[in-house]
């Protein structure tokens, strides 16, 4: 398992692109994954979105650093970035990706306030960020899953 993670905030018309992973299909989360050995976080963010969704992201601001609980009991820092070209992701097709059908049970644009989203702090935070057009300064959020 990677010791760092990256996730993407992809918004279009007030909805956010969320995914359900095949290994954890009970909740929705932001698309992304692990940083590979020797890889920087921006390269990892681009690679993960290309592999899972087949779209090259325009990476914006770092919005959060969130500590996730890893499978082996240690915390994993996860870097959450704003993706500027959300409209491009309306055309994703998991069947045409290298990893999408292998890793994801489902992906779609959703209202984050009406679904089981982890980490749960994003339900309120994303609405606030959107009002500011994602112009907020970089934040650090250190919380655990509920």
Q: Is the dihedral of CA 57, 11, 85, 134 positive or negative?
A: negative
Q: What is the mean pLDDT of residues 141-146?
A: 46
pTM of the full structure:
0.85
Backbone phi and psi for residue 29, each to the nearest 5 degrees, phi listed first: -150, 175
Supply angle C-alpha 38, 23, 91, rounded to 5: 75
Contacts of 84 (CB under 8 A, 6+ apart): 57, 58, 59, 60
**What is the pLDDT, as a whole number, of residue 71?**
65
- 140 pLDDT tier (thresholds 50, 70, 90): very low
Confidence of residue 121 (pLDDT cuts 50, 70, 90): confident
- Amino acid 132: pLDDT: 59
Query: Is residue 136 predicted with pLDDT exceeding 70?
Result: no
pLDDT value at position 142?
A: 46
**For residues 15 and 106, is the Cβ–Cβ distance under 8 A?**
no
Residue 44 pLDDT level (bands cut at 50, 70, 90):
very high
Residues 22/99, Cβ–Cβ less than 8 Å: no
Return mean pLDDT, the chain: 85
Q: What is residue 58's three-state secondary structure? A: coil
**Domains of the chain and CATH, by start:** 5-131 (3.90.79.10)
- Which of 74, 30, 66, 29 has its CA nearest to residue 142? 66
63 in the Ramachandran plot: left (φ > 0), alpha (ψ -120 to 50) or beta?
A: alpha
pLDDT at 73: 67
């Amino acid at each position: 398992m990677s010791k760092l993670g990256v996730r993407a905030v992809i918004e279009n018309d007030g909805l956010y692109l969320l995914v359900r992973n095949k290994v954890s299909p009970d909740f929705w989360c932001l698309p992304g994954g692990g940083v590979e050995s020797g890889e920087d976080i921006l390269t990892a963010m681009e690679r993960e979105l290309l592999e899972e969704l087949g779209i090259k992201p325009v990476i914006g601001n770092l919005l959060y650093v969130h500590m996730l609980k890893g499978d082996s009991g240690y915390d994993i820092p996860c870097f959450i970035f704003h993706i500027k070209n959300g409209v491009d992701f309306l055309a994703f097709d998991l069947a045409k990706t290298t990893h999408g059908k292998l890793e994801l049970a489902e992906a779609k644009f959703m209202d984050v306030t009406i679904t089981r989203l982890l980490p749960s702090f994003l339900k309120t935070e994303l609405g606030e960020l959107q009002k500011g057009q994602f112009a907020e300064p970089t934040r650090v959020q250190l919380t655990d899953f509920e």
